[in-house]
Amino acid sequence: MSLANHPKFLLSVLIALTVAACSKAPSDVEWRHYNGDIGGTKFSELDQINTSNVKDLELVWRYRVPDFVEGKNTAIQTNPLMANGILYLITVGQKIVAMKPDTAEELWMFDPYNGSGATGKTRAMLYWEDGDKKRIFFGADNGYYCLDAGTGQLVENFAEGGRLDLTKNLDHDDIARRFDARGPGVIYENLLILGGSVGEGPRQANPGHIRAFDIRTGERKWIFHTVPHPGEFGYETWSSDSYKYVGGANAWGGIVLDEERGMVFMGTGSATYDHWGGNRVGDNLFANCVLALNAETGERIWHYQTVHHDLWDYDLPTPPTLITLVKDGKQIDAVAQPSKMGHLFVLDRETGEPIFGVEERPVEISEIPGEYTAPTQPFPIKPLAYTDQDFTLDDVTDLNPEARAYVLEQLKEFKLAPIFTPPGFQKLVMAPQFNGGSEWPGAAFDPADNTLYINSSNEAEWISMREAKVENEISYPALGERIYQAVCSNCHQMDAVGELNGVAFPALRTVSERLSRDEVMKIVTEGKGQMPSWASFLEIEREAMLAFLFNDRHDETIDTENLQFTWTGNIPYLSTGHHDFHDEEGYPINKRPWGQLHAIDMNTGDFKWSVPLGTYPALEAKGYEPTGTFNIGGPVVTAGGLVFIGATLDERFRAFDKTTGEELWYYQMDGSGYAAPSTFMYEGRQYVVIAGGGGGIHQTTTSDSYYCFALP
């Protein structure tokens, strides 16, 4: 058979012709980068859709991902890209789909799992081109893939057949523990620069080192140790051997780039273990830091730590947004770093110095033996915190007398204390909760008037600590419950879908109804999807977990005197988990609003407006004003005077007037938009696209769709 008649050759010609037909038109305004541009501003210059006509927006198409399974816990969190007349989406099974932007007609699809049916969350792709070479990069599981952007075929000369194994070349021990890059990296010249997500439990996890790879070959070019090695700057802020066993300190939310200065910026997460740090004594650089690195070499230019010796899981969940402001008549390039605490750190882009001031305030010390507590924590002077903090009895819900009475009665056994109070043996109410504040989508910035738009959640949760030590004799399910609380509860709740770093995890109470004992044991032993393997558990530890999950073997006891358990690592005190706290009807225990959207003047640090974001339909039907809800999703701001955002539990996609905060339009989706929208111009028409996949948060509905809107 001649090459011209070969089926694969004919297919590639057909795809190339289709791509050419979809190539960029003169009127196109693209969305080539996650969050709009390499600075993460989520700003669009488009104004075809504006405050006067947004009420006329209509649904142009709805794309249902092909791998959605009814009843299966999934989510879609991707910010779609549009480049050269092609729209790129990611499905619940982490498949890449290329399509026509105006019709959602599929051009190609790539499955990193080769039909296995695995699911996961990928928030970001990277688009790159050099001459006729056009590439899509994205992460799935522990791999980072390189595809031909026109055909969807793996670029086989990148790394190992088009896939880069992120667990390798970490300057650690190369044990294949979790390291995935679902958040965005950046491309600087010929370097692909990546952070990633790692484990957070008491057992050994990978460190979150930042790495740069050759864009064509996948060869590692530099590495920055976020947990410093001996002789490196910051090493003295840890225990001497911390670098051998501490994980985390990772830029899981992504990276942004100042191309002109050749600088990359990121926010890092907490170090492991999240809630006890007696084995990492010190402030722990570069965990919980805004980091500025030389993009070419990976060398540190500056850092700013937002939490010292984190004991709360107060990650920086998003990279900073690159902004410009005017202060005292001087134009200043800066970075604006949102946080889970609801603090916005505004720092000079070249030096890292706070522009509006930050003060170190004394905080309570820990009661946990062996713990080190930082004596102070940083509080920005301006802007003020944009979420509720310091939960007190004055903050208890006033939704109705019954709810207030119920919560007050529950609180009799809880400790109420200011933010940065270390978790202790008594149940402690935390505000904001462990998911923020802010989460991974981050802020939007309008350069026309230097205004920053940020959404926030205002809910409380509770936590407590306990000894990891186990009694000499303990029943199988009781030991399994201890292991669950220590290892599993940060991700998996018993009665609700869990959420960690924007990833949804199924409830465990009903696992025995969904899976057989052998199936659960296989998952625990081998891992599946986002869950790592726990093959290093003792057989008796795995059996105890199954006894807990299947609620049996209560009369069988384990003699623990001569057992050396693996699940506690070298951690003597463990948290009992992150616990939701609601009234009898399921509403938050604190006063409204429970979620907000804010506009902040970055020239002054003052708030322009704050409005509730989201509503509970049941309360709305009773005549309540919008209450706000917990929210994870990002805003986009446009030159048309609009802020578009999904994010809320009520499954609505909204448009607000960016000047006043007035809600101008909404569309009721079938699933919440836990993602950042994209907007672009294609053949003279402006489109807005958002993933409405829901799932994963507060037991909200799981759905299957992307929604695309435009004017008639």
pLDDT of residue 2: 43
CB 227 within 8 A of CB 246: yes
pLDDT of residue 1: 44
**CATH code at 79-165:** 2.40.10.480
Cα–Cα distance for residue pair 605/323, rounded to 1 Å: 13
Taking only the tens place, the pLDDT of each residue in 111-132 is 999 998 888 889 999 999 999 9
pLDDT at 201 over 80: no
Q: Would you place residue 475 in the very low, low, confident or very high pLDDT band (cuts 50, 70, 90)?
A: confident
CB 684 within 8 A of CB 655: no
CB 565 within 8 A of CB 538: yes
Candidate from 19-28, 293-302, 665-674, 682-691 with smallest mean pLDDT: 19-28
Strand-pairing partners, residue 645, are 654
CB 385 within 8 A of CB 343: yes
Q: Would you place residue 504 in the very low, low, confident or very high pLDDT band (cuts 50, 70, 90)?
A: low
Give the rounded percent of residues in the chain with a pLDDT score beyond 70. Answer: 90
pLDDT of residue 387: 97
Cα–Cα distance for residue pair 576/489, rounded to 1 Å: 8
Taking only the tens place, the pLDDT of each residue in 277-321 is 999 999 999 999 999 999 999 999 999 999 999 999 999 999 999
CB 124 within 8 A of CB 182: yes
pLDDT of residue 484: 76
676-694-628-626 Cα dihedral, nearest 10 degrees: 110
Amino acid found at 211: R
Enumerate residues 6+ apart whose C-beta is below 8 A from 153.
110, 147
| pLDDT, averaged across the chain | 91
Mean local confidence (pLDDT), 596-602: 98
What is the strand order of the sheet 451-457 is part of?
A: 444-446, 451-457, 595-601, 606-612
Cα–Cα distance for residue pair 121/112, rounded to 1 Å: 13
Give exposure, 330-363, as e/b (b: 16+ Cβ within 10 Å): eebebbbbbbbbbbbbbbbbeebebbbebeeeeb
pLDDT at 501 over 60: no
Residue with tokens 């969940």: 317
pLDDT of residue 356: 98
Could you state, in order of their start, the residue ranges of all structural domains in the chain?
79-165, 469-567
Enumerate residues 6+ apart whose C-beta is below 8 A from 313.
200, 270, 274, 275, 340, 434, 490, 578
Taking only the tens place, the pLDDT of each residue in 547-557 is 888 888 888 88
Mean local confidence (pLDDT), 147-175: 94
pLDDT of residue 533: 60
Fold designation for 469-567: Cytochrome Bc1 Complex; Chain D, domain 2 (1.10.760)
Taking only the tens place, the pLDDT of each residue in 366-393 is 999 999 999 999 999 999 999 999 999 9
pLDDT of residue 26: 55
Taking only the tens place, the pLDDT of each residue in 558-573 is 877 767 666 566 788 9
Among positive and negative, which fits the CA dihedral 430, 433, 438, 439? positive
pLDDT at 58 over 60: yes
Taking only the tens place, the pLDDT of each residue in 207-265 is 999 999 999 999 999 999 999 999 999 999 999 999 998 999 999 999 999 999 999 99
Cα–Cα distance for residue pair 27/7, rounded to 1 Å: 35
Give exposure, 404-422, as e/b (b: 16+ Cβ within 10 Å): bebbeebbeebebbebbbb
